[in-house]
Amino acid sequence: MNDAPHECLATWDGPLERINTQADPAREDFVQRLAVAAHAPTALRLSADIRTEGVRGVPGCDCSLFCNLEYGTAPVFWDTFLYPDTGSTPWRRLSCDCRDRGRLTAVELHIRHRLRGRLLVRDLRIETLPRWGGDADVTVAVFGDSTDMTCYLPHEHRLTRRLELLLRDRFADARIDVHGLAEGGEFLDRLVASGRLERELAALDRCDFILFRYGLNDVHQRVTDAAFAARLSEAIALARRRHPAAQIVLSTTIPYSCDGYDAQVRRLAAEQGLPLIDLHAALKRAGAAGDWDWHHDPGHRIGRRMNRLPSGNPDGLQGDKHPNLHGATLIADLYFEQLEPLVARHLAVRGA
Protein backbone atom coordinates (compact mmCIF):
# COMPACT_ATOMS: atom_id res chain seq x y z
CA MET A 1 0.00 0.00 0.00
CA ASN A 2 1.19 3.52 -0.76
CA ASP A 3 2.22 5.07 2.56
CA ALA A 4 1.28 8.62 1.62
CA PRO A 5 -2.07 9.68 3.14
CA HIS A 6 -4.42 11.58 0.83
CA GLU A 7 -7.41 13.42 2.34
CA CYS A 8 -7.99 14.29 6.00
CA LEU A 9 -11.50 13.21 7.09
CA ALA A 10 -11.52 14.11 10.78
CA THR A 11 -9.28 15.89 13.28
CA TRP A 12 -9.06 16.56 17.01
CA ASP A 13 -6.41 19.06 18.09
CA GLY A 14 -6.33 18.50 21.85
CA PRO A 15 -4.16 18.59 23.80
CA LEU A 16 -5.43 16.31 26.55
CA GLU A 17 -3.54 15.60 29.76
CA ARG A 18 -4.50 12.77 32.13
CA ILE A 19 -2.67 12.22 35.43
CA ASN A 20 -3.08 9.32 37.85
CA THR A 21 -1.23 9.40 41.15
CA GLN A 22 -1.94 5.68 41.38
CA ALA A 23 -3.40 3.04 39.07
CA ASP A 24 -7.16 3.49 38.62
CA PRO A 25 -8.73 0.45 36.84
CA ALA A 26 -12.19 2.07 36.94
CA ARG A 27 -11.27 5.46 35.46
CA GLU A 28 -13.58 6.28 32.58
CA ASP A 29 -12.30 7.04 29.08
CA PHE A 30 -12.16 10.53 27.66
CA VAL A 31 -14.69 10.34 24.82
CA GLN A 32 -15.14 12.75 21.93
CA ARG A 33 -17.39 12.29 18.91
CA LEU A 34 -15.91 13.63 15.67
CA ALA A 35 -17.54 14.80 12.46
CA VAL A 36 -16.38 13.02 9.30
CA ALA A 37 -16.03 14.64 5.88
CA ALA A 38 -17.84 12.94 2.99
CA HIS A 39 -15.55 10.60 1.06
CA ALA A 40 -15.42 7.64 -1.28
CA PRO A 41 -14.86 4.19 0.32
CA THR A 42 -11.17 3.77 1.09
CA ALA A 43 -8.59 2.50 3.57
CA LEU A 44 -7.81 4.80 6.49
CA ARG A 45 -4.88 5.88 8.63
CA LEU A 46 -5.34 7.07 12.21
CA SER A 47 -2.45 8.93 13.86
CA ALA A 48 -1.75 11.12 16.89
CA ASP A 49 1.10 12.63 18.91
CA ILE A 50 1.42 10.87 22.29
CA ARG A 51 3.77 11.41 25.24
CA THR A 52 4.13 9.59 28.57
CA GLU A 53 5.77 10.62 31.84
CA GLY A 54 6.45 8.14 34.62
CA VAL A 55 3.78 5.67 33.47
CA ARG A 56 4.01 2.42 35.44
CA GLY A 57 2.82 -0.90 34.08
CA VAL A 58 2.75 -2.98 30.92
CA PRO A 59 2.00 -1.26 27.58
CA GLY A 60 -1.51 -2.14 26.49
CA CYS A 61 -5.19 -1.21 26.58
CA ASP A 62 -5.00 0.55 29.96
CA CYS A 63 -2.89 3.32 28.44
CA SER A 64 -4.08 3.79 24.88
CA LEU A 65 -5.99 5.74 22.27
CA PHE A 66 -8.57 4.08 20.04
CA CYS A 67 -11.55 5.04 17.90
CA ASN A 68 -14.89 3.39 17.29
CA LEU A 69 -15.43 3.59 13.52
CA GLU A 70 -19.01 3.63 12.27
CA TYR A 71 -20.00 2.75 8.69
CA GLY A 72 -23.72 3.44 8.46
CA THR A 73 -25.65 0.32 9.45
CA ALA A 74 -22.59 -1.96 9.52
CA PRO A 75 -21.05 -3.12 12.82
CA VAL A 76 -18.87 -0.66 14.74
CA PHE A 77 -15.16 -1.40 14.28
CA TRP A 78 -12.42 -0.55 16.76
CA ASP A 79 -9.19 -2.01 15.33
CA THR A 80 -7.49 1.35 15.84
CA PHE A 81 -5.41 1.06 19.02
CA LEU A 82 -2.40 3.31 19.51
CA TYR A 83 -0.21 2.13 22.41
CA PRO A 84 2.46 4.45 23.77
CA ASP A 85 5.43 2.94 25.55
CA THR A 86 5.20 3.02 29.32
CA GLY A 87 7.87 4.79 31.34
CA SER A 88 8.69 8.25 29.96
CA THR A 89 8.86 9.15 26.27
CA PRO A 90 9.18 12.33 24.19
CA TRP A 91 6.34 13.30 21.87
CA ARG A 92 6.00 10.53 19.28
CA ARG A 93 3.73 10.18 16.26
CA LEU A 94 1.92 6.84 16.46
CA SER A 95 -0.32 5.48 13.71
CA CYS A 96 -2.33 2.48 12.55
CA ASP A 97 -4.06 1.62 9.27
CA CYS A 98 -7.57 0.24 8.75
CA ARG A 99 -8.66 -1.51 5.59
CA ASP A 100 -11.44 -0.32 3.28
CA ARG A 101 -14.85 -1.17 4.76
CA GLY A 102 -16.90 1.42 2.92
CA ARG A 103 -17.69 5.06 3.70
CA LEU A 104 -16.92 6.12 7.25
CA THR A 105 -19.90 7.99 8.73
CA ALA A 106 -18.86 8.73 12.34
CA VAL A 107 -15.89 8.44 14.69
CA GLU A 108 -15.91 8.17 18.49
CA LEU A 109 -12.49 8.92 19.97
CA HIS A 110 -11.52 7.17 23.22
CA ILE A 111 -8.44 8.04 25.29
CA ARG A 112 -7.90 5.59 28.14
CA HIS A 113 -5.42 6.05 30.98
CA ARG A 114 -5.76 3.78 34.01
CA LEU A 115 -2.10 3.33 34.90
CA ARG A 116 -0.08 5.44 37.32
CA GLY A 117 1.62 8.40 35.64
CA ARG A 118 0.93 11.14 33.09
CA LEU A 119 -0.41 10.73 29.54
CA LEU A 120 -0.59 13.55 26.97
CA VAL A 121 -2.27 13.36 23.54
CA ARG A 122 -2.61 15.90 20.72
CA ASP A 123 -3.27 16.26 16.99
CA LEU A 124 -5.39 13.23 16.10
CA ARG A 125 -5.92 12.84 12.37
CA ILE A 126 -7.94 10.32 10.35
CA GLU A 127 -6.85 10.29 6.71
CA THR A 128 -7.60 8.32 3.58
CA LEU A 129 -5.09 5.95 1.99
CA PRO A 130 -4.87 4.79 -1.63
CA ARG A 131 -5.84 1.27 -2.64
CA TRP A 132 -3.35 -1.59 -2.76
CA GLY A 133 -1.24 -1.55 -5.91
CA GLY A 134 -2.03 -5.14 -6.90
CA ASP A 135 1.55 -5.86 -8.03
CA ALA A 136 2.40 -8.58 -5.48
CA ASP A 137 3.93 -11.90 -6.51
CA VAL A 138 2.03 -13.67 -3.72
CA THR A 139 -1.22 -12.51 -2.12
CA VAL A 140 -2.58 -14.23 0.99
CA ALA A 141 -6.03 -13.51 2.45
CA VAL A 142 -6.79 -14.59 6.03
CA PHE A 143 -10.45 -14.82 7.12
CA GLY A 144 -11.34 -15.44 10.73
CA ASP A 145 -12.46 -13.83 13.98
CA SER A 146 -10.88 -11.54 16.58
CA THR A 147 -8.32 -14.22 17.52
CA ASP A 148 -6.85 -13.81 14.02
CA MET A 149 -7.52 -10.09 13.89
CA THR A 150 -5.66 -9.37 17.20
CA CYS A 151 -6.47 -5.68 16.74
CA TYR A 152 -5.86 -5.06 20.45
CA LEU A 153 -2.14 -5.51 19.75
CA PRO A 154 0.03 -2.84 18.08
CA HIS A 155 0.09 -3.21 14.29
CA GLU A 156 3.60 -4.69 14.09
CA HIS A 157 2.70 -7.42 16.60
CA ARG A 158 -0.61 -8.51 15.09
CA LEU A 159 -0.89 -12.07 13.89
CA THR A 160 -1.27 -11.46 10.16
CA ARG A 161 1.43 -8.78 10.17
CA ARG A 162 3.91 -11.24 11.69
CA LEU A 163 2.89 -13.84 9.11
CA GLU A 164 3.57 -11.30 6.37
CA LEU A 165 7.01 -10.46 7.81
CA LEU A 166 7.94 -14.15 8.11
CA LEU A 167 6.98 -14.84 4.49
CA ARG A 168 8.82 -11.76 3.23
CA ASP A 169 11.92 -12.78 5.18
CA ARG A 170 11.80 -16.32 3.75
CA PHE A 171 11.09 -15.18 0.17
CA ALA A 172 13.14 -12.01 0.07
CA ASP A 173 13.03 -11.67 -3.72
CA ALA A 174 9.23 -11.93 -3.95
CA ARG A 175 6.67 -9.21 -3.31
CA ILE A 176 4.31 -10.69 -0.70
CA ASP A 177 1.11 -9.16 0.67
CA VAL A 178 -0.91 -10.69 3.52
CA HIS A 179 -4.41 -9.24 3.84
CA GLY A 180 -5.78 -9.67 7.36
CA LEU A 181 -9.52 -9.90 6.59
CA ALA A 182 -10.68 -11.27 9.94
CA GLU A 183 -13.34 -9.41 11.92
CA GLY A 184 -14.18 -9.38 15.61
CA GLY A 185 -17.26 -11.44 16.45
CA GLU A 186 -17.35 -12.99 12.98
CA PHE A 187 -18.98 -16.36 12.31
CA LEU A 188 -19.39 -18.21 9.03
CA ASP A 189 -23.07 -17.49 8.50
CA ARG A 190 -22.50 -13.73 8.84
CA LEU A 191 -19.41 -13.86 6.65
CA VAL A 192 -21.31 -15.48 3.78
CA ALA A 193 -24.89 -14.21 4.18
CA SER A 194 -23.85 -10.56 4.65
CA GLY A 195 -21.96 -10.62 1.36
CA ARG A 196 -18.73 -9.62 3.11
CA LEU A 197 -16.74 -12.57 1.80
CA GLU A 198 -17.77 -11.74 -1.76
CA ARG A 199 -16.98 -8.02 -1.30
CA GLU A 200 -13.57 -8.63 0.27
CA LEU A 201 -12.50 -11.09 -2.43
CA ALA A 202 -13.82 -8.84 -5.21
CA ALA A 203 -11.63 -6.01 -3.89
CA LEU A 204 -8.48 -8.10 -4.50
CA ASP A 205 -7.13 -7.95 -8.04
CA ARG A 206 -5.72 -11.41 -7.50
CA CYS A 207 -5.36 -13.87 -4.66
CA ASP A 208 -3.12 -16.92 -4.37
CA PHE A 209 -3.99 -18.31 -0.91
CA ILE A 210 -7.22 -17.98 1.06
CA LEU A 211 -7.21 -19.20 4.67
CA PHE A 212 -10.39 -19.81 6.69
CA ARG A 213 -10.51 -20.30 10.48
CA TYR A 214 -13.88 -20.10 12.25
CA GLY A 215 -15.81 -21.68 15.08
CA LEU A 216 -15.35 -19.66 18.28
CA ASN A 217 -18.29 -17.34 17.53
CA ASP A 218 -20.31 -19.92 15.58
CA VAL A 219 -20.70 -21.96 18.75
CA HIS A 220 -22.37 -18.99 20.48
CA GLN A 221 -24.88 -18.91 17.61
CA ARG A 222 -25.68 -22.58 18.41
CA VAL A 223 -24.78 -23.63 14.89
CA THR A 224 -24.90 -27.40 14.44
CA ASP A 225 -21.85 -29.26 13.16
CA ALA A 226 -23.67 -30.05 9.90
CA ALA A 227 -24.72 -26.41 9.36
CA PHE A 228 -21.17 -25.24 10.10
CA ALA A 229 -19.78 -27.65 7.50
CA ALA A 230 -22.38 -26.53 4.94
CA ARG A 231 -21.50 -22.86 5.41
CA LEU A 232 -17.78 -23.58 5.23
CA SER A 233 -18.35 -25.53 1.99
CA GLU A 234 -20.29 -22.55 0.66
CA ALA A 235 -17.45 -20.19 1.58
CA ILE A 236 -14.93 -22.45 -0.16
CA ALA A 237 -17.08 -22.60 -3.31
CA LEU A 238 -17.53 -18.83 -3.35
CA ALA A 239 -13.78 -18.27 -2.98
CA ARG A 240 -13.10 -20.66 -5.84
CA ARG A 241 -15.57 -18.87 -8.10
CA ARG A 242 -14.03 -15.49 -7.39
CA HIS A 243 -10.38 -16.62 -7.55
CA PRO A 244 -10.24 -19.99 -9.37
CA ALA A 245 -6.44 -20.26 -9.17
CA ALA A 246 -6.26 -19.61 -5.43
CA GLN A 247 -5.25 -22.37 -3.01
CA ILE A 248 -7.81 -22.73 -0.20
CA VAL A 249 -6.31 -23.50 3.23
CA LEU A 250 -8.42 -24.59 6.21
CA SER A 251 -7.56 -24.33 9.90
CA THR A 252 -9.06 -25.82 13.01
CA THR A 253 -9.50 -23.33 15.83
CA ILE A 254 -8.66 -22.84 19.48
CA PRO A 255 -9.82 -25.73 21.77
CA TYR A 256 -12.13 -26.89 23.33
CA SER A 257 -15.55 -25.47 22.60
CA CYS A 258 -15.38 -26.27 18.86
CA ASP A 259 -14.36 -29.93 18.76
CA GLY A 260 -17.30 -30.86 16.53
CA TYR A 261 -16.57 -28.02 14.11
CA ASP A 262 -12.89 -28.95 14.02
CA ALA A 263 -13.81 -32.51 13.09
CA GLN A 264 -15.83 -31.12 10.16
CA VAL A 265 -12.88 -28.93 9.10
CA ARG A 266 -10.58 -31.96 9.07
CA ARG A 267 -13.16 -33.97 7.09
CA LEU A 268 -13.66 -31.26 4.45
CA ALA A 269 -9.91 -30.77 4.07
CA ALA A 270 -9.42 -34.51 3.53
CA GLU A 271 -12.37 -34.86 1.13
CA GLN A 272 -11.45 -31.83 -0.98
CA GLY A 273 -7.68 -32.28 -0.82
CA LEU A 274 -7.10 -28.96 0.92
CA PRO A 275 -4.10 -28.09 3.11
CA LEU A 276 -4.99 -28.22 6.81
CA ILE A 277 -3.51 -26.20 9.68
CA ASP A 278 -4.40 -28.06 12.88
CA LEU A 279 -4.25 -25.20 15.37
CA HIS A 280 -6.38 -27.20 17.81
CA ALA A 281 -3.77 -29.95 18.05
CA ALA A 282 -0.84 -27.51 18.12
CA LEU A 283 -2.21 -25.56 21.10
CA LYS A 284 -2.95 -28.77 22.99
CA ARG A 285 0.68 -29.81 22.45
CA ALA A 286 1.89 -26.39 23.61
CA GLY A 287 -0.16 -26.63 26.80
CA ALA A 288 1.06 -30.15 27.51
CA ALA A 289 4.64 -28.88 27.14
CA GLY A 290 4.02 -26.13 29.73
CA ASP A 291 3.68 -23.30 27.23
CA TRP A 292 0.24 -22.19 28.39
CA ASP A 293 0.38 -18.42 28.71
CA TRP A 294 -0.14 -17.55 25.04
CA HIS A 295 -3.58 -16.19 25.96
CA HIS A 296 -2.78 -14.89 29.45
CA ASP A 297 -3.96 -11.27 29.83
CA PRO A 298 -4.49 -10.61 26.09
CA GLY A 299 -5.09 -6.89 26.71
CA HIS A 300 -1.40 -6.50 27.48
CA ARG A 301 1.10 -5.96 24.71
CA ILE A 302 3.68 -8.28 26.25
CA GLY A 303 2.99 -11.98 26.68
CA ARG A 304 5.10 -13.65 29.34
CA ARG A 305 6.21 -17.25 28.92
CA MET A 306 5.48 -19.47 31.93
CA ASN A 307 7.08 -22.82 32.65
CA ARG A 308 4.47 -24.39 34.91
CA LEU A 309 0.73 -24.84 34.45
CA PRO A 310 -1.33 -23.37 37.30
CA SER A 311 -3.41 -25.85 39.29
CA GLY A 312 -6.65 -24.19 38.14
CA ASN A 313 -5.68 -24.49 34.47
CA PRO A 314 -4.18 -27.98 34.03
CA ASP A 315 -4.31 -27.99 30.21
CA GLY A 316 -3.49 -24.30 29.72
CA LEU A 317 -6.65 -23.74 27.68
CA GLN A 318 -9.03 -22.23 30.23
CA GLY A 319 -10.07 -18.58 30.22
CA ASP A 320 -10.01 -15.92 27.53
CA LYS A 321 -8.97 -17.40 24.17
CA HIS A 322 -7.64 -14.17 22.64
CA PRO A 323 -3.89 -14.51 22.02
CA ASN A 324 -1.51 -12.04 23.64
CA LEU A 325 1.71 -11.01 21.88
CA HIS A 326 3.29 -14.39 22.60
CA GLY A 327 0.16 -16.18 21.38
CA ALA A 328 -0.09 -14.14 18.18
CA THR A 329 3.54 -15.02 17.51
CA LEU A 330 2.93 -18.70 18.22
CA ILE A 331 -0.08 -18.91 15.87
CA ALA A 332 1.57 -16.84 13.12
CA ASP A 333 4.60 -19.13 13.27
CA LEU A 334 2.33 -22.16 12.84
CA TYR A 335 0.58 -20.56 9.86
CA PHE A 336 3.98 -19.81 8.36
CA GLU A 337 5.23 -23.38 8.82
CA GLN A 338 2.24 -24.70 6.87
CA LEU A 339 2.16 -21.99 4.20
CA GLU A 340 5.90 -21.82 3.50
CA PRO A 341 6.10 -24.96 1.30
CA LEU A 342 2.89 -23.97 -0.52
CA VAL A 343 4.28 -20.52 -1.32
CA ALA A 344 7.61 -22.04 -2.39
CA ARG A 345 5.83 -24.30 -4.89
CA HIS A 346 3.69 -21.42 -6.12
CA LEU A 347 6.74 -19.24 -6.79
CA ALA A 348 8.58 -22.12 -8.47
CA VAL A 349 5.67 -22.67 -10.87
CA ARG A 350 5.29 -18.94 -11.44
CA GLY A 351 8.98 -18.61 -12.30
CA ALA A 352 9.11 -21.71 -14.51
Provide mean pLDDT across the span 35-60: 91
pLDDT number for residue 303:
57
Q: Tell me the Ramachandran region of residue 11: left when phi exceeds 0, alpha when psi lies from -120 to 50, beta otherwise.
A: beta
CATH fold label, 8-129: Jelly Rolls (2.60.120)
CATH architecture observed for domain 138-351: 3-Layer(aba) Sandwich (3.40)
What SS3 class is residue 170?
A: helix
**SS3 for 139?**
strand
Is the CB of residue 248 less than 8 Å from the CB of residue 239?
yes
Query: What pLDDT, in 10s, does the model give residues 310-343?
Result: 666 666 677 778 898 889 999 999 999 999 999 9
239 in Cβ contact with 246 (< 8 Å): yes
pLDDT band at 5; cut points 50, 70, 90: low
- Look at residue 173 in the predicted model and tell me its pLDDT: 96
Q: What is the mean pLDDT of residues 219-242?
A: 97
Cα(227)–Cα(272) distance, integer angstroms = 18
- Of all residues in the chain, the percent with pLDDT exceeding 70 is 91
Q: What is the mean pLDDT of the chain?
A: 90
List b or e across 187-224, with b for residues whose CB sees 16 or more CB atoms inside 10 angstroms: bbbbbbeeebbeebbebbeebbbbbbbbbbbbbeeebe
Confidence of residue 300 (pLDDT cuts 50, 70, 90): low
* Rounded Cα distance, 168 and 340, in Å: 10
Q: What confidence tens digit (pLDDT) does each residue in 169-213 have?
A: 999 999 999 999 999 899 999 999 989 999 899 988 899 999 999
For residue 2, pLDDT beyond 60: no
Domain-wise residue ranges, the chain:
8-129, 138-351
Residues above pLDDT 90, as percent of the chain: 67
